[in-house]
Amino acid sequence: MDDSLFRALADPTRRKILELLTEKDRTAGEIAEQFPIAFASVSHHLGVLKAADLVATEREGQFIRYRLNTTVFQEVVRYFMTRFGGGDQKGAENA
Amino acid sequence: MDDSLFRALADPTRRKILELLTEKDRTAGEIAEQFPIAFASVSHHLGVLKAADLVATEREGQFIRYRLNTTVFQEVVRYFMTRFGGGDQKGAENA
DNA sequence: GACATATTTAGACGATTGTATCAATATCTC
DNA sequence: GAGATATTGATACAATCGTCTAAATATGTC
């Protein structure tokens, strides 16, 4: 389990970005306009998320589209389950 | 989902402490001697983990015994499952 | 009470982080 | 190519963080 992963998740703006990407893939601009900080600052957060492999990108003409890398989230859940027994299978369904 | 939780998990020393507590409950000193940093520094980490409600303490004479708060880990797993669909129930069993 | 042990608190310091501004790169349209 | 839009890169700076040392608090033993 990479250190950059947990550091990436430690910031609330980045977690919010991830939740936005849960709904649908979005361009950097679409993401940035959801936050009161500078576009360049959001771009920095996107870079952190990408370095942690939590998101992936694809160029679409002028735009760059971001999407969640769900594989990594599965690894996160496994990390907690295996080490801390943090969730039983049945209970999680109703959460 | 509290911000202090993710910040607490962001440090590798703190994650290592949590893993140590998975094996068995330990006193602050037993935890501290596992790390090459000053006891006071480990104590600081323990404070962060406690503030995030990831661990609980109980005084035992001179000692203070730390234990995992497994409830919070269940919440973490639920956070990722519900928001990111990060783990299916069957697959997690074999992880 | 005096002393030893266990742990935390306080204060300081260098490193990292989040944000800002400005410059640079990439693509599109004309 | 020139200009517009989208995004990132570079640099700076204040705030937070991890660690340290030294002091303070709590308990146990004599």
Give pLDDT tens digits for A6-32: 999 999 999 999 999 999 999 999 999
Which H/E stretch holds residue A72? Answer: helix A70-84
Q: Do A73 and B86 touch (CB under 8 A)?
A: yes
Burial (CB count <10 Å: 0-12, 13-18, 19+), residue A87: buried
Nearest C-alpha in A relative to B24:
A84
Strand D atom within 7 Å of A59 CB: no
Entry pTM: 0.88
B19, B86, B90 member nearest A77 (Cβ) = B86
Mean pLDDT, 10 residues at a time, chain B of 95 residues: 92 97 97 98 98 97 96 90 66 39
Q: What is the pLDDT of residue B86?
A: 52
Q: Does B86 touch chain A (CB under 8 A)?
A: yes
Of the candidates B78, B17, B19, B23, the one whose C-alpha atom is nearest the C-alpha of residue B49 is B17
> If phi over 0 gives left and psi between -120 and 50 gives alpha, with beta otherwise, what is residue A62?
alpha
Distance B93 CA to D8 C1' (A): 41
**Which tokens hold the place of A79?**
């990390």
Cβ–Cβ contacts within 10 Å for residue A1, how many?
Answer: 12
pLDDT band at A89 (very low <50, low <70, confident <90, very high): very low
* Region at B85 (left for phi over 0; alpha for psi -120 to 50; beta for the rest): left
* Nucleotide of closest approach to B7 (CA, C1'): D17
Report the C-alpha gap between A4 and B51 in whole angstroms.
23
